[in-house]
Structure formats: structure tokens, C-alpha cells
Amino acid sequence: MAQRTVIVASASGLHARPAKLFVQAAARLGVPVTVRLGEKAVPAKSMLGVLSLGAVRGTEVTLEADGPGAEEALDSLVALLSRDLDAEEALDA
Amino acid sequence: MPDQPAPGSGRPDSAPPGSGHPDRPAFSGSGGFLTGLGVSQGRAAGPAMRMAAPPTLPPPRPVADPAAESSAVAAALEAVAADLSRRAAGASGEAADILEALAMIADDPMLLEDAQGRAREGMDAAHALDAAFAQHRDTLAALGGYLAERAADLDDLKHRAVAFALGLPMPGLPSPGHPYVLVAEDLSPADTAGLGPDVLALVTERGGPTSHTAILARGRGLPAVVACKGIMDVPDGTVVGVDGRTGELAVGLTEQEAAEVQEADRAERARLAAGRGPGRTSDGHPVKLLLNIGSAADLRPGAEGVGLFRTEFLFLDRTTAPSFEEQVAAYAEVFARAESVIVRTLDAGTDKPLPFLGLPGEPNPALGVRGLRVDRLLPDVLDTQLDAIAEAARKTGAEAWVMAPMVTTTAEATGFAKRARARGIARVGAMIEVPAAALRAGRLLRELDFLSIGTNDLAQYTFAADRQHSALADLLDPRQPALLELIAMCARAGREAGKPVGVCGEAAGDPLLAPLLVGLGVTSLSMAPVCVPAVREALAGLTLADCRERATAALA
């Protein structure tokens, strides 16, 4: 099983717009990814699941996936979580 | 505009709609008319669409085919997600983000699995959806903060999915995919705040001229008519013309007539928007034209500052108190962008609840703990807010003007002024909303730097008439001489003290009333941004003597 640990960089954590972007990206991958925070594990393409983790900025989460394409899928999600998606939003405005 | 003519509507043999002159009726013709109270100026025409109420869950029914219920669950969630995605595609910016996120929740695999699991165990589709949503709602609510606020979104999605499963119309705001006139029994502030750009006008069966619906409609420049009996009987899709000034509704217009109304309204707005410069009468008497705002997003050019910054609008749906830092940021954003700002400290009470205050219920909320009186129970709230206002002023170099709502006695004014001045706030004032305060305006001005009259509440308390009560609209009419006497009394006290006395109630934004208020002696008028051009034009057409004549006539 492929596994990555990443610290959530977005100012608002995995809420609001960052959560939406993350879940959208996970849904596009075609590889089922699980997000784990402590005991709790949820599918990365579940908005309710990701929100319910309550991950704030600086929270460390673990991403897991299996099978072909798993490594690449996790790399792309790690890259996304490592960016401050809220700051990028501010630049858009 | 809809593709087909409106069904089941009697069409008046109407002449073209009015020319746009403010003293001429908007619509002419026979038959097919309804009237209500016009509460937000402007005219619009388009198909009427009703807001459906949330569905009531019937008792559970026995299930013969669990697989069919499971499919029905999936179909309901899919339909809700598709509807929201379609609306997101038609929206932009923050609204699009919110709608997309809601669509993703409706499309959520965990939610689907949970609801289908319940259906397979023998629940009917509607109950399975209701239970699955309720569980996720509880999870989010338990996490607190931002996520607890999202719990209400799940209720909205639940209502939609359950309605679909029951074969009922989708509740909430309609989304027909074309501009429409929103029709409802009544609208909550949340409904009104969520209005999309496809809403042309608001018509409600209930509500009064000073209800929050009316205030928010004016803030957005949407024509609105409230207390319109019979509107709920107009079939969806019927093309109606709405005049938000006269309160007149033409029911069953042709497409052509509707287009003419829309065009006349555009021309009128363009003409008014062309006006510029400070407020003054034709003989040069200055009257400051100021804005009523709820946040920096409401700021518009063309006014001479902010006369009423309603800070509670920043915190309407909060379940936790806004922090000092958050408040500093919100106030500084407004201070940095407006040339002068009068901040009103939180105006809440049982009648206008702010969830984070957790105020106890009361039998007569309008006569209870509201406005400055909340300070009797929760002094920290005002202290934090005054600290934040002072800090925001320091950060931006702005001169902070602060006033408290619902000041009633000199002692309250003195106490408030002391706390505000201790923090270095430059000018301290009070809202005059209670007759007791108006009667003592001269004495209050010994403690304070300015007064601002809130005509809606002052009318409510002077006439003992609930401002939300449509049957008492005549008592709430700002032309009532007893109300005008009180305003004149405050203005006189201001003149004697050499201190400004403005009006920031909705009467200030009415181009017919504004000159009268100036005639009574008020020094500034603060109003929804969309009202400024028409008021500027009304003042520019009259001398100060004309204004005084109107005031004298109104008091006779």
C-alpha cells in the first residue's frame, strides 16, 4: 500500500474552498484514496468525510491508496495539500 | 424570460407601462392587478416563481421492495446534486463556490452509502435520506466552529432530497434557469441573503415596510412589495410587473410588456446614477448623504461616508463569538475604504437573535433585552467590540465614530460614552429609537457628540405598533406627525448644541420624505446605497425653504 504523510498548509485547513478543491482532485483520480487522521479514515472523494476530520492548518494527515497509479495519485494530492489554497484564492481576487 | 406564455393568467388589455416619471403609476390597463406595500423602489417584470416550503415528512410507510427504495435514494441525491451543479455553472465567485460545494455534498459517496444502507434495511426512501442527513449533520455540529455553521447547509440539502423522494417541489429558492420574480409568504434574512442574480424582484404575502426583508431588498436594489394579499394564488410562470414604489402589481403581462418595464427601469436607474456630488438643496444648503452598510462589500461610490455600519450583519449566523482579531479586520476593511464611518455597536436581541449571544427567550422581545441593553447581561461583548473598533481606527488612521443602539436614558448614554472615550474613540453618539431618548435629546447631547435617529424603531415604540405587523402599516408610516415631532425635537436639540443629528432609518432613503426630514432640521441622511441618487436628485430640486414648508405642512 502506498502511503504519504502531509501537513495541511491552507490557512482555513481542510474546510471551505480548500476542501472542495481537494475532494474534486481526489474524485478525478480514478484511484480510491483514503485520508487518515489518527483513528479516523475517510474516502478522499467524500466531502462530508473530509470535512468531518476537522483538519486545521498544520494538521498532519496520512493519505493511502492501493494498486496501479497509487503512487502518482498520492503525489498529486500531497502537492495540493502542501499549498496554501486560501492564499491562492486571495490572489485570484 | 420563459419560452412560453404564462399559463392560466388573465391578461389586462394594458397600455404600455408608465414612463418612469416618479409621480406616474407604473402600469395602466384593466384587470389583473394586485396591490401591497412598495418597500424597495424600482420596477421589474418577469415570470412569478414561488418559494416552496420545506417538506413535512409523512409517517414511515411499509416497504415491499427495499431495492426500489435504495434506487429512489440514489435518484433523489443525484437530482439535488444536478440541480445545484447547474446553478453553480450559472453563478460566479463565492456563490459558485458555495453551490459547487453543496452539490459535492449531495453527491457524497458516504452519504449515499449510509442512506442506501438504511433503505436496504427496510426504511422508505424519504426516511432513509432524512436519517442519513441527520447523522452527518450531528457529526458536523459536534465539531463546532465553521463546521457547525455548515450543519444548516445539510438541512437545506436534506429538505431538497426528501422533497424529491416524496415527489414534492424542491424547497428553497427556485432555480428555473431564467430571471424571475420571487414570490413567497415571507422571506427569512437568510433566504434574502442567498438571492441569486436571476431574481428580478421580491413579492411577499406577509411582512411590513420595515421588516428585514425590506431592508435587505433595498440594500440590493431589488424592487420589493410586501403585504401583498393574493400573490400566493398567482400560478407559477405568470408574468407579473412589480412597482416597488407604489406597491402595485400587474398580473399577466405579455413578454413585450415585461420587456418594456425592464427597459424603462434600466433607463431610470441610468439617469439617476448619472447624478454626482455632495447632497445639497437647490439653494446650496448641505445635507450629508451617507450609506447604511452591513460590511465592506456594501460600499458604493457617490456618498459622503457611512452613516450606519450595522456590525451585527457580520455575525448573523455565528454560533461562536467573533474574536477581537476578526472584528479588527472587518472594521479596518471598512475604515480603509470609506472617508468617514459611523459604527453602530451590535444591535441584537431576542427579536433579532445572534446565535453566539445565546440570549434567553422573552415574552415581548421588542420590549426586552435588545441593542445596548444586551450589555446588562454580557458586558464583555461590548468591551471587546469597542476595543476592536479603536484598534481598527488606529491601524487605518481613521477617525472612529461609534454609536449605541436603543439608548433610552441619560445614564445609559453617559456610561456608553465613558467606555468608548476611555478607548480613545473620537466621537461617541447614540441612536434615537426610543421616545424617552428623543424627549431628552438635549440632555443626551451634553454627554454625546452626535445623534442618529432610527425612524423604524422610533415609530414602533412611539405608536406601540410592532414594526413587522403588516396590519399596522399606517401607524408605522414615517409621515405620522407624532413621529415627525420627535424628529424635530432632536434636530432642534442638535442645532442648539451645535452637534450633528442625522436620520439613518429607512425614511431617509425615500426621495419624497428626505426633503421633509431636511425641513425638520436633520443634518445628514443615511440610506441603502441604491437610494442615494434619487434622494440627491430630490434635494437638488428644492430650496431649504421648500423643505421647511413641507415639514410645517406635515406637522399641521
- Residue B68, C-alpha cell as written in the block: 426500489
Treating both helix axes as pointing N-terminal to C-terminal, what angle do B66-90 and B93-106 enclose, rounded to 10 degrees? 170
Find chain B residues with C-beta within 8 A of A53's C-beta. none
Residue B297 has a pLDDT of 85
The last residue of a domain, from among B236, B271, B306: B271
The last residue of a domain, from among B253, B271, B289: B271
Find chain B residues with C-beta within 8 A of A19's C-beta. 101
Q: Give the domain extent around B433.
A: 275-555
- Co-location of B159 and B192 in the same domain: no
| Closest-CA distance of chain A to residue B101, Å | 6
> Is pLDDT at B331 greater than 70 in this prediction?
yes
- Co-location of B304 and B262 in the same domain: no
Tens digits of per-residue pLDDT, B6-57? 333 333 333 333 333 333 345 544 448 999 988 888 899 999 999 877 888 9
Candidate from A20, A45, A46 with C-beta closest to B100: A20
Is B384 strand, coil or helix?
helix
Residue B317 has a pLDDT of 67
In contact, B452 and B526? CB cutoff 8 Å: yes
Residue A89 has a pLDDT of 47
Interchain pair B109, A43: CB under 8 A: yes
| Closest-CA distance of chain B to residue A79, Å | 21
Quick one: which of A8, A65, A82 has its CA closest to A31? Answer: A65
B143: domain CATH number? 1.10.274.10
Distance CA B499, CA B436 (A): 20
Stretch among B90-99, B165-174, B245-254, B468-477 having the lowest mean pLDDT: B90-99
Which residues have C-beta within 8 Å of that of residue B471, sequence separation ≥ 6? Answer: none
Which residues have C-beta within 8 Å of that of residue A48, sequence separation ≥ 6? Answer: B105, B108, B110, B111, B136, B139, B140
Find chain B residues with C-beta within 8 A of A47's C-beta. 101, 104-105, 107-108
DSSP string computed for B189-201: HHHHHT--TTEEE
The reply to whether B142 touches chain A by the CB within 8 Å rule is no
Tens digits of per-residue pLDDT, B11-21? 333 333 333 33
The reply to whether B136 touches chain A by the CB within 8 Å rule is yes
Distance CA B375, CA B404 (A): 11
Interface probe with A: pick from B100, B102, B105, most Cβ of A within 10 Å:
B105
One-letter amino acid at B55 equals P
Bridge-partner residues for A63, per DSSP?
A: A4, A35
One-letter amino acid at B166 equals L
B504 counts as catalytic? yes
Distance CA B401, CA B451 (A): 11
The reply to whether A17 touches chain B by the CB within 8 Å rule is yes
Q: How much is the average pLDDT of B254-283?
A: 88
Q: Is residue B5 part of a domain?
A: no
Residue B128 has a pLDDT of 97
The reply to whether A48 touches chain B by the CB within 8 Å rule is yes
Distance CA B44, CA B26 (A): 10
Q: Is residue B10 part of a domain?
A: no
Q: How much is the average pLDDT of B494-503?
A: 97
Distance CA B210, CA B457 (A): 9
In contact, B407 and B416? CB cutoff 8 Å: yes
- The active-site residue out of A6, A10, A14, A15 is A15
Residue B211 has a pLDDT of 65
In contact, B191 and B501? CB cutoff 8 Å: no
A15 counts as catalytic? yes
Interchain pair A16, B146: CB under 8 A: yes
> Is pLDDT at B521 greater than 80 in this prediction?
yes
Q: How much is the average pLDDT of B366-395?
A: 94
Residue B91 has a pLDDT of 66
User: How many Cβ pairs within 8 Å bridge chains A and B?
Assistant: 46
- Co-location of B216 and B94 in the same domain: no
- Residue B477, C-alpha cell as written in the block: 408610516
- Residue B135, C-alpha cell as written in the block: 447523522
- The active-site residue out of B228, B490, B504, B531 is B504
Instruction: Tell me B172's DSSP state.
Output: B
Find chain A residues with C-beta within 8 A of B150's C-beta. 51
The last residue of a domain, from among B165, B191, B220: B165
Q: Is residue B59 part of a domain?
A: no
Tens digits of per-residue pLDDT, B202-230? 999 987 766 666 777 877 788 999 999 99
What's the Rg (C-alpha) of chain B? 25
Question: Between vectors from CA B310 to CA B304 and to CA B316, what angle results, nearest 5°?
Answer: 150
- Co-location of B379 and B481 in the same domain: yes
Residue B273 has a pLDDT of 73
Tens digits of per-residue pLDDT, B433-463? 999 999 999 999 999 999 999 999 999 999 9
In contact, B192 and B435? CB cutoff 8 Å: no
- Co-location of B315 and B279 in the same domain: yes
Residue B13 has a pLDDT of 33
Q: How much is the average pLDDT of B544-552?
A: 96
Composition of chain B by helix, strand, coil, percent to 5: 50, 15, 35
Residue A88 has a pLDDT of 60
Q: How much is the average pLDDT of B246-272?
A: 90
Stretch among B49-53, B73-77, B199-203 having the lowest mean pLDDT: B49-53
Q: Is residue B25 part of a domain?
A: no
Interchain pair A45, B136: CB under 8 A: no
Which residues have C-beta within 8 Å of that of residue B64, sequence separation ≥ 6? Answer: none
| Closest-CA distance of chain A to residue B326, Å | 14
The reply to whether B297 touches chain A by the CB within 8 Å rule is no
Tens digits of per-residue pLDDT, A35-74? 999 889 999 999 999 999 988 888 999 999 998 889 999 9
pLDDT category of residue A90 using cuts at 50, 70 and 90 = very low
Distance CA B285, CA B282 (A): 8
Stretch among B132-136, B164-168, B195-199, B409-413 having the lowest mean pLDDT: B195-199
Residue A78 has a pLDDT of 92
In contact, B31 and B10? CB cutoff 8 Å: yes
Q: Is residue B40 part of a domain?
A: yes
Quick one: which of B491, B455, B451 has its CA closest to B342? Answer: B451
> Is pLDDT at B172 greater than 70 in this prediction?
yes
CA distances from B88 to B75, B95, B381 (A): 20, 7, 37
> Is pLDDT at B3 greater than 80 in this prediction?
no
Q: What percentage of chain B has pLDDT greater than the value 70?
A: 90
Distance CA B438, CA B408 (A): 9
Candidate from A17, A46, A54 with C-beta closest to B109: A46
Is A72 strand, coil or helix?
helix
Distance CA B159, CA B55 (A): 6
Q: Is residue B28 part of a domain?
A: no
Tens digits of per-residue pLDDT, B307-329? 999 998 777 767 788 899 999 99
Residues in chain B: 556
The reply to whether A12 touches chain B by the CB within 8 Å rule is yes
- Co-location of B408 and B533 in the same domain: yes
- Co-location of B186 and B158 in the same domain: no
Strands (E), B36-87: 37-40, 43-50
Q: What percentage of chain B has pLDDT greater than the value 90?
A: 60
- Co-location of B82 and B230 in the same domain: no
Instruction: Tell me B298's DSSP state.
Output: G
- Co-location of B358 and B293 in the same domain: yes
B244: domain CATH number? 3.50.30.10
The reply to whether B100 touches chain A by the CB within 8 Å rule is yes
Distance CA B357, CA B334 (A): 24
Residue B9 has a pLDDT of 36
Interchain pair A51, B109: CB under 8 A: no
What is the number of domains present in chain B? 3
Is pTM, for the whole model, over 0.90?
Answer: no
- Co-location of B358 and B230 in the same domain: no
Candidate from B97, B100, B136 with C-beta closest to A48: B136
Question: Between vectors from CA B218 to CA B214 and to CA B223, what angle results, nearest 5°?
Answer: 85
Residue B108 has a pLDDT of 95
Distance CA B517, CA B300 (A): 23
User: Between β-strands B306-310 and B288-293, what pairing exists: parallel, antiparallel or unpaired?
Assistant: parallel
Q: Is residue B19 part of a domain?
A: no
- Co-location of B260 and B321 in the same domain: no
Q: What percentage of chain A has pLDDT greater than the value 70?
A: 91
- Indicate the average pLDDT of chain B: 87
Interface probe with B: pick from A47, A50, A88, most Cβ of B within 10 Å:
A47
Distance CA B139, CA B472 (A): 44
Q: Is residue B18 part of a domain?
A: no
Find chain B residues with C-beta within 8 A of A16's C-beta. 101, 146
Treating both helix axes as pointing N-terminal to C-terminal, what angle do B66-90 and B109-120 enclose, rounded to 10 degrees? 160
B544: domain CATH number? 3.20.20.60
> Is pLDDT at B430 greater than 80 in this prediction?
yes
pLDDT category of residue B292 using cuts at 50, 70 and 90 = very high
Q: How much is the average pLDDT of B510-538?
A: 92
- Co-location of B88 and B123 in the same domain: yes
Distance CA B103, CA B85 (A): 6
Find chain B residues with C-beta within 8 A of A48's C-beta. 105, 108, 110-111, 136, 139-140
> Is pLDDT at B274 greater than 90 in this prediction?
no
